[in-house]
């Protein structure tokens, strides 16, 4: 007889949390998802800063696994409002993880490639972190907290997450919508990374739980591309001309927070290397 696990996803309305919810439901697992700023049907409203509400949820559901994709991922806002970033990217998820671990649940936390400076990518799990901006520093801080205080946790680092969803937070969708309107899409040639498909991320994260993986794990797509190359591929895939994509450098955007340029992630763990078709459905 197969034993099903109970899961709670803190932040199930985003790209990561949404695909996790689908992945677990497809596997007939018992799953409860929460949302706060982005409500969605079938999800429970939960402010992860409300400790009493978090305790009530955990004590009511008794989950085997607590997933924490919830975060404030707006890198430039984090730079402007470091106190808000600290609350939502360090304090709240850290406390949720502690409460979950105290109740015997395995914690799966989603971090970022922005813990690295992008000077010499791609980076493996054993490389030393060196963030350039508030968001990356706060993610590095919560990683260290979890490694020290929640020893059974899994810390998953993806990069440039995308999906097939018609969602304004999805990079592919935003590009296609601009192209449909006849706009010229500016894309940087000097940022390199490893785009991560949400469906593959969900599958690999699930496998990490099945394997009882502990520690830091990089989960990314198999290719390293510039943002410009990625955007050109999307344009061609959806029947648009590459001439609608204008190559520029990062400086052209006058961003508030520094971005890692020569970035990207690789994993030292062979079993978690994605293959198109097997682990995800290619979008571009």
Domain of residue 40, CATH code: 3.40.50.720
Asked if residue 123 is part of any domain, the answer here is: yes
The predicted-structure confidence for 231-272, as pLDDT tens digits, reads as follows 999 999 999 999 999 999 999 999 999 999 999 999 999 999
Asked if residue 112 is part of any domain, the answer here is: yes
What does the mean pLDDT of the chain come to?
Answer: 95
Query: How many other CB atoms are found less than 10 A from the CB of residue 86?
Result: 18
The predicted-structure confidence for 132-165, as pLDDT tens digits, reads as follows 999 999 999 999 999 999 989 999 999 999 988 8
User: What would the mean pLDDT of 168-188 be, rounded to a whole number?
Assistant: 93
Q: Is 42's pLDDT higher than 70?
A: yes
Per-residue pLDDT band at 2 (split at 50, 70, 90)? low
Comparing 85 with 18, the larger pLDDT belongs to 85
Comparing 279 with 91, the larger pLDDT belongs to 91
Per-residue pLDDT band at 3 (split at 50, 70, 90)? low
Q: Both tokens of residue 91?
A: 């304090």
Asked if residue 258 is part of any domain, the answer here is: no
Asked if residue 18 is part of any domain, the answer here is: yes
Alpha helix (H) residue ranges in the chain: 15-26, 51-61, 75-80, 82-86, 92-102, 134-149, 171-180, 198-210, 227-237
User: What would the mean pLDDT of 124-128 be, rounded to a whole number?
Assistant: 98
User: What would the mean pLDDT of 36-50 be, rounded to a whole number?
Assistant: 91
pLDDT score of 280: 78
pLDDT score of 1: 37
Asked if residue 236 is part of any domain, the answer here is: no
Per-residue pLDDT band at 223 (split at 50, 70, 90)? very high
Q: What is the dihedral of CA 55, 61, 10, 273, to 10 degrees?
A: 130
All residues at 6 or more sequence positions from 116 whose CB lies less than 8 Å from its CB, including other chains: 123, 127, 129, 130, 131, 136, 260, 263
Q: Is 82's pLDDT higher than 80?
A: yes
Asked if residue 137 is part of any domain, the answer here is: yes
Split into its structural domains, the chain has a count of 1
Residue-number span of the structural domain to which 54 is assigned: 6-162+196-222+264-269
Asked if residue 58 is part of any domain, the answer here is: yes
User: What would the mean pLDDT of 2-8 be, rounded to a whole number?
Assistant: 85
Asked if residue 85 is part of any domain, the answer here is: yes
**Any idea which of 5-9, 46-50, 168-172, 202-206 has the lowest mean pLDDT?**
168-172
Q: Is 229's pLDDT higher than 50?
A: yes
């Amino acid at each position: 007889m197969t034993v099903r696990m109970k899961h709670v996803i803190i932040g199930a309305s985003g790209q990561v949390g949404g695909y996790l919810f689908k992945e677990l439901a497809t596997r007939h697992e018992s799953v409860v998802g929460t949302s706060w700023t982005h409500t969605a049907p079938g999800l429970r409203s939960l402010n992860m800063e409300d400790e009493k509400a978090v305790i009530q949820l955990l004590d009511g559901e008794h989950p085997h696994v607590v997933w924490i994709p919830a975060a404030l991922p707006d890198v430039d806002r984090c730079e402007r409002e470091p106190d808000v970033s600290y609350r939502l990217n360090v304090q709240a998820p850290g406390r949720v993880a502690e409460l979950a671990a105290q109740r015997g649940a395995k914690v799966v936390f989603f971090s970022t490639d922005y813990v690295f400076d992008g000077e010499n990518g791609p980076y493996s799990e054993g490389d030393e972190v060196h963030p350039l901006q508030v968001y990356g520093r706060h993610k590095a801080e919560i990683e260290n907290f979890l490694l020290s205080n929640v020893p059974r946790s899994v810390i998953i680092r993806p990069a440039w997450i995308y999906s097939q969803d018609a969602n304004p937070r999805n990079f592919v969708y935003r590009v296609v919508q601009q192209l449909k309107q006849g706009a010229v899409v500016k894309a940087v040639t000097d940022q390199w990374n490893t785009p991560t498909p949400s469906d593959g991320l969900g599958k690999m994260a699930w496998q990490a739980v099945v394997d009882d993986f502990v520690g830091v794990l990089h989960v990314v797509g198999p290719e390293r591309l510039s943002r410009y190359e990625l955007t050109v591929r999307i344009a061609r895939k959806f029947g648009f001309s590459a001439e609608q994509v204008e190559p520029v450098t990062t400086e052209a955007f006058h961003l508030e927070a520094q971005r890692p340029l020569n970035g990207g992630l690789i994993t030292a763990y062979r079993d978690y290397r994605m293959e198109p078709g097997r682990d995800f459905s290619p979008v571009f």
